[in-house]
Every structure is written in structure tokens, then in C-alpha cells.
Amino acid sequence: MDKLKKPFMILPSLALYYLFTEHVLSVNKAEGRSMEPNVKSNSILLINRLPNIKIQNNDIVIARSPYKPDLDICKRVLFGPGERVTGLGVIVPHNYVWVEGDNKEESFDSRHYGPIPI
């Protein structure tokens, strides 16, 4: 009878792991040079996934790529909703942010695809 119970003991652990990594904290690996020198390629990142966190200018965020939804991007928030993007005159819409990589020459970011949704 104990042999039958063991597989079922794994299920709650897997469910808890899934909920934790999807909604609390997860780990991701940085690939590429767009955030160097502050985030180097192959760095391991801890990602806070708690809801209702206010994103502020200068925060580093992980978001879905606007062009490749299966790809995550790591960028720095430079302008928030209602702010005018310096040099471009673009005003960031409500519930959007303007993100750019720290390594401007290697980064494909809001300068190419515009603001991204919060």
C-alpha cells in the first residue's frame, strides 16, 4: 500500500513548485549583451513575480518580446506612463513603459518597437 502512496506524495510538491515559480519567484538566464556591463550574458537572474509591484523608472524588468512572444527580454525602464521620451517627443501611454538596454549599441528595445505594456 505504501508503494501506491509515494507517487501521490509528489503531486502536491510539483503543484507547489509550479505555483511558486509562476507567481512568486523564478530563475532565468540572461542571454546576449544588451544589458552589459550591468547584467552580463549568462548571468543567473532571480525574478520577482509577485503581483501589484509598482514598476518605477530605472528598474530592470523581464518582459515578453513584442516580436517573439516565446522570448523574454531583460531591459531597464527609462520612462513611465505619461512621460515624454527624451529626444523623441513620444509620450508613453497609460499602462505602458519605455524600456532600453544599458548597452545601447547591442540592444533591440523600445527605440525599435515602442513602449511595452506593464
pTM beyond 0.85: the answer is: no
Task: For residue 34, indicate whether it is catalytic.
Answer: yes
Task: For residue 26, indicate whether it is catalytic.
Answer: no
Per-residue pLDDT of 20-47, as tens digits, reads 787 788 888 999 999 999 999 999 998 8
- Give the architecture-level CATH label for domain 2-117: Ribbon (2.10)
pLDDT level of residue 18 (50, 70, 90 thresholds): confident
The catalytic residue among 3, 75, 107, 110 is 75
Distances (CA, A) of 53 to 46, 64, 93, 96: 15, 17, 19, 14
Residue 92 CA to residue 23 CA, distance in Å, equals 27
The catalytic residue among 5, 13, 34, 65 is 34
What would the mean pLDDT of 93-116 be, rounded to a whole number?
97
Per-residue pLDDT of 71-86, as tens digits, reads 999 999 999 999 999 9
User: Does 111 have pLDDT greater than 70?
Assistant: yes
Q: Note the Cα 43 to chain centre separation in Å.
A: 14
